[in-house]
Structure formats: C-alpha cells, structure tokens
Amino acid sequence: QVQLQESGPGLVTPSQTLSLTCSVSGASFTSSAYYWTWVRQRPGKGLEWIGYIFHNGQTNYNPSLRSRITISVDASKNEFSLKMTSVTAADAAMYYCARENHSLRPLGPLDPWGQGILVTVSS
Amino acid sequence: DIVLTQSPGTLSLSPGERATLSCRASQSITTNNLAWYQQKPGQAPRLLIHAASRRATGIPDRFSGSGSATDFTLTISRLEPEDFAVYFCQQYHDSVRTFGQGTKVEVK
C-alpha cells in the first residue's frame, strides 16, 4: 500500500524559507508512471497546485509560485522536498504531498495523498 | 490556466437524496483528464473519479462522473451519511493543474 508522509517545521518566520519533505513508501519511487506533487490549502479555502517533480529531477511549477519555489528529489531515500522562499502570512496553509498516477493513462489524477502538514507563518 | 468553476457552492440535501455537482472549465478539456475528490474535515482529499467518469478503486457505485469538453458532473445517486463533505474537481489536461473552488454537500 502506497503511503506518503509530510514532515518539516510547522512554524516559519516571515521572510524566511519553508522546507518540507515527503517520504514515500510502498511504491516504486523511480517509476516513470508517477509525478510527485505538492498541493496546499489555505485555511477554509480551496486547493492550490504547487508543482511536481519526476524522479529524474524534471519539474513543473505553478507560474504564480515559480519564482519562490524549488521541488527536489532524493530517489535514494524515496523522498521529495519543497522549498519556498520569502514566505508571508499568505503562505500559511496545510501542505499536502501526493502522487500523480499515470499508470492507467498518459496523465493521471492525484492518488494517494499524504495526511498533510499545517504550516503557520509567524514571528 | 484553465479555470474550473464549481456550482453550487453549497448543496443542502437529506440522506437518500440525489446530489448533482457541476464543474465548468474555462477551456475545453479535450482529453477528459478531469478528476473529482472528496474531502472531509481534518482529512486529506480522496480520489473518487478520474478521466471524467472512471471510479477509483474502492469507490461505491453510487458515485458517478459524466461530461466532456467544458461541462462535467459528479452525481451521488443516494446520499449516505458519510457522503456529506466537500467535493473538488481538478483538471490534469493542462501543464498547470488547477482545482475548482469546491462544493459543500451538507445535511438539510
């Protein structure tokens, strides 16, 4: 059974860098069928796609966040990470990692998701 | 980017009733690469439907998806108590993935 688990600081100081990691178990991390994805959800709001990374390091980012984010991968540890610079209160959210699954069709949905990690931005 | 607009914002129904949720796209999703997710309070979203009409593994057949191009629908044929939640649509047709703003299905 595939499981994803987010980890990282739950509190980030304004203007600093948010760093999160997603650990993947139960799946072939280097499969060509998967894109490893970050999504966030501000309190009481909808879902915002942040971006994804392929196991070889190829990335695709939301243009609205591209200047501030980096998604990286450590295939040897079955992990991928998100870094977001210059955070503000607007970046406070639940951050989810998820697998975009292309095993059935050329492109696929997000399944499964991690449980999420709540990030607060405050001094 | 493809903007997805969901309606209604809130749907007030009773258990056993039929729920019809709409997701309209600002551009045609010619591949039908559209998914529906269910989210309950304090939980991560869960995949219900992918490719517009294909149920994910383990999803009850009271959930069905339909539509094409710019108009998509999620139907819950008979609401069970555990179905009261927020539902999101998402397109993965475009390189920039986007979500709808959600429809809350609440108990009337």
Q: Express each pLDDT in A83-97 by its tens digit.
A: 999 999 999 999 999
Share of chain A above pLDDT 70, in %: 100
Alpha-carbon span A58 to A75, nearest angstrom: 13
The two tokens of residue A82 are: 């998100």
Each residue's pLDDT tens digit, A50-65? 999 998 899 999 999 9
The Cβ-side half-sphere exposure at A9, using a 13 Å CA radius, reads 13
pLDDT in the model for residue A27: 85
Alpha-carbon span A19 to A84, nearest angstrom: 7
A112 and B47: CB-CB below 8 Å? yes
- Compute φ and ψ for A75, nearest 5 degrees: -65, -25
Q: Report residue A105's pLDDT band, with 50, 70 and 90 as the boundaries.
A: confident
Chain B contact for A105, CB < 8 A?
yes
Share of chain A above pLDDT 90, in %: 82
Each residue's pLDDT tens digit, A11-34? 999 999 999 999 999 988 888 899
pLDDT in the model for residue A103: 82
C-alpha dist (Å) from residue B1 to A17, A64, B91: 27, 11, 10
Chain B contact for A65, CB < 8 A?
no
Alpha-carbon span B31 to B6, nearest angstrom: 19
Q: In terms of Cα–Cα distance, which of A48, A60, A32, A57 is closest to A94?
A: A48
CB-based contact B93:B2 (threshold 8 Å)? yes
pLDDT in the model for residue B92: 97
Each residue's pLDDT tens digit, B30-49? 999 999 999 999 999 999 99
Could you say which of A48, A63, A109 has the minimum Cβ distance to residue B92?
A109
22-61 in A: which are within 8 Å (CB) of B? 37, 46-49, 60
Q: B7, B54, B92: best mutation site toward chain A, by most A Cβ within 10 Å?
A: B92
- Compute φ and ψ for B14, nearest 5 degrees: -105, 155
pLDDT in the model for residue A104: 79
Which stretches of chain B score pLDDT less than 70? none
Mean pLDDT of chain A: 95
Q: In terms of Cα–Cα distance, which of B11, B24, B100, B4 is closest to B67?
A: B24
